[in-house]
Each structure stands twice: as structure tokens, then as C-alpha cells.
């Protein structure tokens, strides 16, 4: 099983994590420190520095190659050297779960143009393709993050309920709504016993 290193969408290119993106990713983080602080868990003080970003990208590249996690960095076709966001399939679990967590972030300047919806549609198509073949993708969103809630609902994610005190973010334990989408066309391994749905 493998995920593509490049995903094309009508307006964007999604590039798989690799250390060569370090300067563009560091600039993305630095531009959005205040924007992301409200939504992200506590991060190391040096998380926007070039050495830390390069190290993180190298770890991400290893995870991508091993199938444990897949992160793509978003660039507009007209500005291919600038990172404007990311989509991450993390904590990929196989066996009877065949699931992962979905995370995503978009530059504050780029919100409101449907770019994340476009990117997530493409990444979900990859997640549910034969190359990756996941059955379930799940996401957790703070109830007050209306943009994020709207994106997931538009993509067909089901609201599975409220998780109290789910993550420590912005100085306190925060509730999150849990969402998931499943793939009815999931192809089970040949050795799995399958019952007739009738």
C-alpha cells in the first residue's frame, strides 16, 4: 500500500512531507503563529525555527514511507514555492480498525475561498483508494470552530458526539466534537471472513 507524493487539485498541489520544504513550512508557521495558537495544542517554543521544522519534516517523511502517517503541504498552482496549508492523516491503525485521524490547517489569508474543502476532498479520495485503503477517517473539532465544522459537514462527515475536556489548547482543556466518515467500498484483506449482509 502506498500514498502518492503529489496530489493535484484544480487550484493546488499537495506535496508529501520531505525536508526540502523546510523553509516554506517554517515561513508558513511563522506567518500564522497567532492564528493557530487558538486551535493548536501546546507546541515547543522553537517549533517555527528552521532546524526544528527540518527535523519534524524528516520524521514526517519516515512516517509517510512506512505508512504510519501521511502529511501533504498545500501550495497554490500560481505560487508553487509557498506553503499555505497542510492536511495530515495521522495515527494510521490497521488490523480490524483500518482508521486514522484527520488534521488540517490553512493560512489565515487563504480562508473563505474553498481551498481546504478542495484539498480535503482530494486527500479523502486517496485515503479511500486501493493504495491506502482505509475504512474510516475521523476528526475532532472545537465546537466554536465554525469554519472547520462547516468543512467537515460539507464533506459528509457524521457528527458522533461531544468529547469533554478532549485536548489542552490555548490554556485550558477544551471540548471537541468528534466526526467520522467511512468508506463503503473498503476492500478487506483476503483472509478476513466476510458475512453476507443479507
Domains of the chain listed by start with CATH number: 6-182 (3.40.630.30)
Encode pLDDT of 126-153 as tens digits. Answer: 999 999 999 999 999 999 999 999 999 9
β-bridge partners, 91: none
Encode pLDDT of 65-85 as tens digits. Answer: 999 999 999 999 999 999 999
Q: At 191, phi and psi to the nearest 5?
A: -80, -5
Rounded Cα gap, residues 139 and 191, in angstroms = 29
% of the chain exceeding 70 in pLDDT: 98
Is residue 198 pLDDT above 80, yes or no? no
Residues 6+ apart with CB under 8 A from 94: none
Confidence of residue 1 (pLDDT cuts 50, 70, 90): low
Cell triple for 102: 484527520
Do strands 99-106 and 136-141 pair parallel, antiparallel, or not at all (unpaired)?
parallel
Is residue 194 pLDDT above 80, yes or no? no
Encode pLDDT of 41-68 as tens digits. Answer: 888 889 899 999 999 999 999 999 999 9
Do strands 136-141 and 158-169 pair parallel, antiparallel, or not at all (unpaired)?
unpaired
**pTM of the model as a whole:** 0.92
Do strands 172-182 and 12-16 pair parallel, antiparallel, or not at all (unpaired)?
unpaired
Cell triple for 137: 477517517
Cell triple for 127: 485515503
**pLDDT recorded at residue 108:** 95
Instruction: Give me the sign of the Cα torsion angle 82, 10, 152, 139.
Output: negative
Amino acid at each position: 500500500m502506498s500514498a502518492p507524493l503529489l496530489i493535484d487539485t484544480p487550484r493546488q498541489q499537495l506535496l508529501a512531507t520531505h525536508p526540502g520544504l523546510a523553509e516554506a513550512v517554517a515561513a508558513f508557521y511563522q506567518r500564522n503563529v497567532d492564528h493557530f495558537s487558538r486551535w493548536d495544542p501546546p507546541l515547543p517554543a522553537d517549533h517555527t525555527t528552521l532546524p526544528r521544522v527540518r527535523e519534524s519534516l524528516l520524521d514526517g517523511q519516515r512516517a509517510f514511507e512506512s505508512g504510519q502517517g501521511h502529511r501533504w503541504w498545500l501550495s497554490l498552482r500560481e505560487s508553487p514555492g509557498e506553503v499555505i496549508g497542510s492536511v495530515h492523516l495521522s495515527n494510521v491503525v490497521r488490523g480490524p480498525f483500518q482508521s486514522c485521524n484527520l488534521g488540517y490547517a490553512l493560512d489565515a489569508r487563504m480562508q473563505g475561498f474553498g481551498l481546504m474543502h478542495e484539498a480535503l476532498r482530494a486527500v479523502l479520495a486517496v485515503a479511500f483508494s486501493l493504495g491506502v485503503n482505509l475504512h474510516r477517517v475521523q476528526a475532532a473539532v472545537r465546537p466554536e470552530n465554525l469554519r472547520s465544522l462547516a468543512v467537515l459537514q460539507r464533506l459528509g462527515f457524521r457528527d458522533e458526539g461531544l468529547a469533554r475536556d478532549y485536548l489542552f489548547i490555548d490554556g485550558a482543556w477544551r471540548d471537541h466534537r468528534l466526526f467520522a466518515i467511512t468508506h463503503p467500498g473498503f476492500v478487506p484483506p483476503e483472509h478476513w471472513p466476510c458475512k453476507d449482509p443479507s
